[in-house]
Structure 1
Amino acid sequence: MRWLWTPAWIARHVAMVVLVVSFLGLGWWQISRATAGNSISWGYAVEWPVFAGFVVYVWWREVRLARRSAEAAAEPPADTAEPSPDAAEASTSGSRPGVRRPVRVSRVPATAPPADDADLAAYNDYLSWLNANPGARPGDYPG
């Protein structure tokens, strides 16, 4: 728990407290305005405490993430010897696999279009002409 008292974490704690107190104060201010007759302030009176709750959620998530990182850094390194098949199965049965491997996708070569398709050949000529003449309009095509 000592890592929660570094200067960076102290700044995070202070920022969280300041934001939560400010957001709850703004919510209370909106309640006072709403009771005075401003009906749109009822929505803001609900909105500001939701913002405060979000700040607490993000702060708590960051604390948990830092705690997990500190625990992972404190663990001794794993043996370099090959694990038994039971150990390998146990390590991959969790939510994250121990080793990530790339996915292999077989590629099928594209086949050439049939030569007797005149419409496709004319369209390909049109596209190549447009590519060769980038400033031209489709009506300028000579074919």
Structure 2
Amino acid sequence: MKRLWTPAWILRHVALVVLVTGFLALGWWQISRAASGNTLSWAYAVEWPIFAGFVVFVWWREVRHALRGTRAVPPSAAAPGGPAPADTTAGPTTPAVRRPVRVARVPAAPVDGADDADLAAYNRYLHWLNANPGARPGDYPG
């Protein structure tokens, strides 16, 4: 819990209290305006407490993230050729976010030979369009 009492976290806690109090006060102000006949204020009276709830939600997620901390990388996962950490029991720390897996894609082979002639003709047409940027598709000589 000491992690949540650093100067940066104290500033976040104060910002939470100030923002939630201000948003709820603005919501109450809009309710008083709506009660006096301003119908548009009813929408704002609902909107300000939603903003306050969003601030609490973001603060809660940040607290959970800070308390979860970082996980240690096993020494076998260290970059090859890189410097080895001095203490192999602790190792370097990285966030708990994983990188996406890259999968090699193999192009599919054509099913029959008839598609190859059509594909070659279409590729010639695209090559001609690329070589003649001002031309219209109807100007294609082939």
* Aligned residue in 2 for 1:20: 20
Cα drift, residue 54 of structure 1: 1.1
TM-score of the aligned structures, taking structure 1 as reference length? 0.66
Aligned-pair RMSD on alpha carbons? 3.4
Cα drift, residue 67 of structure 1: 0.6
TM-score of the aligned structures, taking structure 2 as reference length? 0.67
Q: Provide, for residues 80-107 of structure 1, a one-character-per-residue CA deviation record: whole Å limited to 9, x for no partner.
A: 8xxxxxxxxxxxxxxxxxx999465673
Task: Give the aligned residue type for 1:111.
Answer: P
* Aligned residue in 2 for 1:47: 47
Equivalences for residues 1-143 of structure 1 within 5 A:
1-69=1-69, 72=71, 102=101, 107=106, 109-111=108-110, 114=113, 121-143=120-142
Query: Which has the larger share of helix?
Result: 1
Whole-angstrom CA distance in 2 between matches of 1:120 and 1:51: 55
For structure 1, the 5+ residue unaligned runs are: 81-98
Whole-angstrom CA distance in 1 between matches of 2:115 and 2:4: 74
- Over the matched positions of the two proteins, sequence identity in percent amounts to 68
Whole-angstrom CA distance in 2 between matches of 1:120 and 1:101: 34
Q: Provide, for residues 55-88 of structure 1, a one-character-per-residue CA deviation record: whole Å limited to 9, x for no partner.
A: 1111011111101107x57xxx8798xxxxxxxx
**Moved segments of 4+, more than 6 Å:** 77-80
Task: Give the aligned residue type for 1:50.
Answer: I
Q: Secondary structure at the match of 1:38?
A: coil
Whole-angstrom CA distance in 2 between matches of 1:117 and 1:2: 68
